[in-house]
């Protein structure tokens, strides 16, 4: 069946991420208030979904502090701007092995391995409409670091997400991750239709070329909603590529720090640039309630409501 351009597109803004970008741009938000403000600004610029991590406000290092997630969630939900909240659930699966001759001498300072219940604690506390499920393990960049998500860990976390009524966003870094996602649906761990984010160009996952991208797209089951993104200077080209292939888009400082060569960006500026590109292509931007209706999400009220 030939692919058709998606004429009704939603934008996800990935606000801050967990990468070591905190000292590369002063515009990368750190505190829960800064991250919430950036998310609200991105929503005003056209993002229907905001994807959020939290960071240590002093150092900018990624963390999984429950209080920071609670503050972030409350600030976004108590604002006057409507947006779908997507919280990461990828934290707690960071394994850094020892040197090649002593792999079991773990680098404790850079290893953060937690059980499924602990990894899901902030999701249970905040009940976002969406949370991420990194659907496999992989060598994430160079060195001795491995992003760890075993099949049984994914079954346990996916079951918790389904029971909580939080929509998993399947983060697929290669075709095998999509293969296992279909298995989770087949087993009833995840509900059908599922939601997928295709993550392109991240060493050493799916390489950033259109042939591989289309292989990823062609492995998304019919009827599933999906988005895609790439990194750095390829962020905006993938806005166009994803919409042309029938999908939705993701932009933001998690994946790219620059508005143009030598010019640091804000999240809102990246969303605005993507929105303008999509408009020029003839696509309409979906609002948050349209996304909820499409994905079967229920709007959450602020904690104080």
Query: Tens digits of per-residue pLDDT, 10-21?
Result: 999 999 999 889
Is 61 within the bounds of a domain? yes
Q: In this structure, what CATH number is given to the domain that contains residue 175?
A: 3.20.20.70
> SS3 of 10, please?
coil
- Domains in the chain, number: 1
> SS3 of 249, please?
strand
Is 3 within the bounds of a domain? no
What is the model's pLDDT at position 301? 79
Is 302 within the bounds of a domain? no
Peptide bond into 193 cis (omega under 30): yes
Is 56 within the bounds of a domain? yes
For residue range 211-266, what is the model confidence (pLDDT) as tens digits? 999 999 999 999 999 999 999 999 999 999 999 999 999 999 999 999 999 999 99
What is the model's pLDDT at position 302? 78
Is 80 within the bounds of a domain? yes
Rounded distance, CA 124 to CA 117, Å? 9
Is 301 within the bounds of a domain? no
Is 190 within the bounds of a domain? yes
Q: Which residues contact 1 (CB under 8 A, 6 or more apart)?
A: none
- Stretch (H or E) spanning 287: none
Look up the pTM and report it.
0.96
Rounded distance, CA 202 to CA 98, Å? 23
What is the model's pLDDT at position 256? 98
Range of the domain at 101: 8-295
Is 2 within the bounds of a domain? no
Rounded distance, CA 240 to CA 284, Å? 13
Read off the tokens for 93: 């699966």
CB 171 within 8 A of CB 206: no
pLDDT tens digits in sequence order for the chain, 305 residues long: 467 999 999 999 999 999 889 999 999 999 999 999 999 999 999 999 999 999 999 999 999 999 999 999 999 999 999 999 999 999 999 999 999 999 999 999 999 999 999 999 999 999 999 999 999 999 998 999 999 999 999 999 999 999 999 999 999 999 999 999 999 999 999 999 999 999 999 999 999 999 999 999 999 999 999 999 999 999 999 999 999 999 999 999 999 999 999 999 999 999 999 999 999 999 999 999 999 999 999 888 776 54
What is the model's pLDDT at position 303? 66
CB 210 within 8 A of CB 241: yes
Rounded distance, CA 71 to CA 260, Å? 32
Cα dist from 280 to 21, 140, 199, 209, whole Å: 31, 35, 24, 23
């Amino acid at each position: 069946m030939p692919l058709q351009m998606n004429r009704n597109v939603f934008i996800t803004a990935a606000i801050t991420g967990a990468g070591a970008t905190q000292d590369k741009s002063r515009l990368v938000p750190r505190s829960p208030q800064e991250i919430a403000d950036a998310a609200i600004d991105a929503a005003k610029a056209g993002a229907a979904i905001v994807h959020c991590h939290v960071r240590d406000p002093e150092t900018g290092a990624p963390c999984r502090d429950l209080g920071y997630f609670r503050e972030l969630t409350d600030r976004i939900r108590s604002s006057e701007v409507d947006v779908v909240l997507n919280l990461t659930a990828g934290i707690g699966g960071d394994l850094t092995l020892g040197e090649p001759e002593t792999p079991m001498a773990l680098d404790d300072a850079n290893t953060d391995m937690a059980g499924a219940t602990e990894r899901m604690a902030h999701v249970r506390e905040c009940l976002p409409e969406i949370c991420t499920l990194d659907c496999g393990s992989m060598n994430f960049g160079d060195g001795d670091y491995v992003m760890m998500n075993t099949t049984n860990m994914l079954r346990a976390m996916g079951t918790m997400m389904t029971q909580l009524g939080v929509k998993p966003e399947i983060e697929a870094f290669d075709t095998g991750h999509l293969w296992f996602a279909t298995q989770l649906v087949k087993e009833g761990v995840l509900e059908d239709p599922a939601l997928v984010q295709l993550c392109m160009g991240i060493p050493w996952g799916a390489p950033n070329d259109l042939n591989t991208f289309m292989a990823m797209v062609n492995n998304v089951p019919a009827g599933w909603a999906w988005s895609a993104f790439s990194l750095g200077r390829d962020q905006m080209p993938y806005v166009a590529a994803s919409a042309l292939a029938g999908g939705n888009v993701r932009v933001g400082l998690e994946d790219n720090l620059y508005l143009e060569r030598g010019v640091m960006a804000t999240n809102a500026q990246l969303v605005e640039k993507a929105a303008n590109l999509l408009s020029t292509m003839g696509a309409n931007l979906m609002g948050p309630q349209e996304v909820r209706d499409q994905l079967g999400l229920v709007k959450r009220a602020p904690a104080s409501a």
